A and B are shown apart, each in its own frame.
Chain A
Amino acid sequence: MIDSNFISKCKNIFGAENVLTEKADLITYSYDATPGIPREIPGVVVFPENTKQVQEMIFLARQAKVPIYPRGAGTCLSGGPVPLNKGVVISFQKMNKIIEIDPDNLTATVQPGVIIADLNNAVSKYGLLYPPDPGSMATATVGGSVAENSGGLRGLKYGVTKHYIMGMEIVLPTGEIFRYGGKTVKNVTAYDFTSLFVGSEGTLGIITEIICKLIPTPKYRKSMIAFFDKLEDAGKTVTDIVRAHVIPATLEIMDKVTIQTVENYAKAGLPTDVEALLLIEVDGMGKDSVEWEAENCIEIIKNNNGKFKIAETDQERDSLWAARRAALPALAQVKPATILEDATVPRTKLVDMLVSIQKIAKKYNLLIGTFGHAGDGNLHPTILIDPLDKDEMERLHKAVDEIFDVALSFGGTLSGEHGIGIAKLKYLKDEIGRSGVETMRRIKQALDPDNILNPGKLVPMED
């Protein structure tokens, strides 16, 4: 229980200036970026500045049987940091030092509160790159994105967060401080803890230090945009490009509703009579290989009846990208609220999925604009709604249920990059089955016997 005694112990650990207890302050930690999930006001918010304080907090919380909710910048799209059962929010905003950049081992060691964009700015001085680039990278923290295993636009070629984590320091739910991994490329000592802790959504341990893998920044790139009168042609272009062994850094799709909305909003000069557009960028260290990849893409676009534009200058590239960047803002203008999903299917099922989403939109009389990472089969159907319209909200929930059903029927997954959290908890069993859920419970119980770490997320503890 959080009482005055508990609060004063928190103040002893963190210093009074790093403990928030006023209701108005606490209200601002009751949400993340997930629409339509419950909000809860935490009992207290603390800002650790070192690992020792995190450990002491765990000891205190275990003793008092108070749940702990770790939080980065709160840009999560599945409810990860929301303090469902009140409790303590640990905000890592002030643990934000880049401890070391090691350009020879191609690593960066950071505290969890470092903003992803800040890390990239820092390593860019060495010509290096930390590839995971979720849409919120200008705000989101490395710690939060590790906990959620965030993706981004570069997923197809460069992978996602889990591919760039070489080691971590973690405070376990029992209070022990645990380190694994390091700067070596190869390391098969013990279990593969990266796979266990990355994407564990704060349920298995609190991340206090991260060793990230870096890569040299590609020197050359080429962007193009392609328009298609038929959805099928766009879909075939995506699979043909991969079949031709070209792996673009970016392979994005926008459907008709999105294109029309973007054009209406940004007047970017997009044709509004096409069914889909693809935004493609190839990159690499060699000029010739990048040219070869670009030529291959153009050939494939032509063969699939696409019209295209190639960006010759940085300015032209920016204008192509402006269309993609305007997708969400443009859609958000249409209605007061937007629900962004991220059901993901195998690349070859992309068109089937798009067609299904269009059918669902029609069936429930909803406006859905779909855009997303075509190369990953990771689509973002964006449902535009008015939260004050009760009837529309009911139709929305039914449509979302159906989108997940369809994605799973295509051999896809509930979430490509946003996570399960609270938002998709009820669908979990549909994908991994009873035995899968049971396995998750056993792992959770083994590491967090008191269930104090981010309870109510990712792992359904009861049927």
Chain B
Amino acid sequence: MAKTVFDDLETLKRELIRCMKCGNCMAVCPIYNVEKKESSVARGKIALGEAVLEDKINIDDETLVKLIFNCLVCKSCMMACPSGVRFDRIILGLRSAIAKKKGIPFIKKALFGLLKNPELFDKGMKAFATMQGLFFKKEDEKTRTPKGFLKQFGKRFDDDFVLPELTKESFRDKVNEVMDVQNPQANVIFFTGCSVNYFYPEVGQDLLYVLKRNNIKVITPRNQNCCGMPVMVHGDIETARELAKKNLQVFESFNPQYIVTVCGSCGSALKHEYPIILEGDTVYEKKAKKWAEKIYDISTFLLKIIKFEPPKGKVELKVTYHDSCHLKKSMKVFNEPRQLLKMIPGLTLVEMKKPDACCGSGGSYHLTHADTALKITQAKAEDIKQTQADVVCTGCPACMMELFEGIHRWDGKCKVLHTVNLLAESYKKEA
């Protein structure tokens, strides 16, 4: 297999020299905006990569490791970079080198190992769902807050922390693997992602509803795996590769026309990250590239791939739209969701100040770097509050969780929904 940035740090040199150190990334980096330190931003991390390659510092230097992991991988810097520096490869390459040198911490290793075994992972999540009361107390039907003892595990778990109820019956358990329709205009695989499967089954349900209304045959493979993004950003490229290969096998076995996603991060992993991490793999590089062409966020799929039936039911709500980083900056999807929302009768779309500013989630970043993340989330929550919208809508369940918490913390009243929730609501109100 050819050497990639994940296998050999030397190959990073070509990526690193593209950086002119112009500092344009500083204008858009959510972490730099809070911390105001050079190491917060892409340019500083690139300088660290250069220093490692020049033997000025070790890849397992304790501070360096901390700094390299202080990144949301939101890709905002890549949008602002005049020289087209591929910072996603750089940061993941550095993290992969760190993981190789230092090994992956025991807890992460155990968790990532679980991800590779979908049945075990599923059992684990369900077991946790039944036990969630031990850790998180119920605030209402759909909300939980952490119990006191969790505080020792991080600042985030204070009295204001909330998270959605973990479902005891996963989405994929609830639905039939195949949703058939008569004379379908297309057939697709629905790649649910873990957050929809365990936290937001109603997003999955609404997606099926919307696709049914548009006469699409949907396969929701039970044996689909985690997309790999969570392990990838921790530098565990081997696990990510394994998950990618398994998912590609699933796609091959059902061989649908398209694959639809409702999560910016899953979509980004499938469409953009798989071809990168599988570069040089004699069997899977080709497959990854082939399937990348067929992966669409639901909003693009509805508007650009099929003949879309606009919903006619009135939904009289003031809605503001938050751009998920991976949906906008990786998948370049930002027009379509807005277009869809504007098609819903009665709905008014109001833009917040910086709709594409990161929400501060970054997967587990909001737990590991609570101080910085909370400030990023607070700014977002305040921008949302200013719009006085009834609903903040987005295209990524990870953002949904973060926004849900942010709005709760900073006394907003806004509801958090996915674009497909609003579409489904409009269809349902047609009668």
Contact = CB atoms under 8 A, between A and B. Distances in A.
Nearest to A136: B23
Contacts of B51: 27
A235 to B, nearest CB: 27
Contacts of A117: 27
A24 interface: yes
B306 interface: no
A28 B22 contact: no
B57 A32 contact: no
Contacts, number: 92
B17 to A, nearest CB: 5
B24 A22 contact: no
A336 B17 contact: yes
A31 interface: yes
B63 A336 contact: no
Contacts of B38: 28-29, 74, 91
Contacts of B178: none
B57 A138 contact: no
Interface residues of A, number: 38
Contacts of A30: 47
A136 B24 contact: yes
Given A24-B61, A139-B27, A338 B48 contact: no
A234 interface: no
A415 to B, nearest CB: 17
Interface in A145-192: none
A125 B382 CA distance: 20
Contacts of A138: 24, 27
B44 A28 contact: yes
A337 interface: yes
Contacts of A29: 38
Interface string B390-429: 0000000000000000000000000000000000000000
Nearest to B83: A332
A194 interface: no
B148 interface: no
A388 B38 CA distance: 26
Given A35-B20, A336-B18, A24 B36 contact: no
Chain B interface residue number, banded:
20 to 34
A168 to B, nearest CB: 22
B48 A75 contact: no
Interface of A is mostly: loop
B290 interface: no
Contacts of B64: 24
B84 A27 contact: no
B21 A33 contact: yes
Given A24-B57, A332-B20, A336-B14, A93 B63 contact: no
Interface string B42-78: 0110011001000011000101101100000000000
Contact of B84 (A35, A93, A96, A329): A329
Contact of B48 (A27, A93, A96, A140): A27
Given A24-B66, A73-B26, A96-B36, 19 more contacts: A22-B63, A24-B67, A27-B47, A28-B38, A28-B47, A29-B38, A34-B21, A74-B38, A115-B27, A138-B24, A138-B27, A139-B23, A139-B26, A140-B23, A332-B83, A332-B84, A333-B83, A338-B20, A388-B17
Interface of A: 20, 22-25, 27-35, 41, 47, 73-75, 91, 93-94, 96, 115, 117, 136, 138-140, 328-329, 332-333, 336-338, 387-388
Minimum-distance CB pairs A-B, first 7? A28-B44, A138-B27, A28-B38, A93-B36, A332-B83, A329-B82, A24-B63
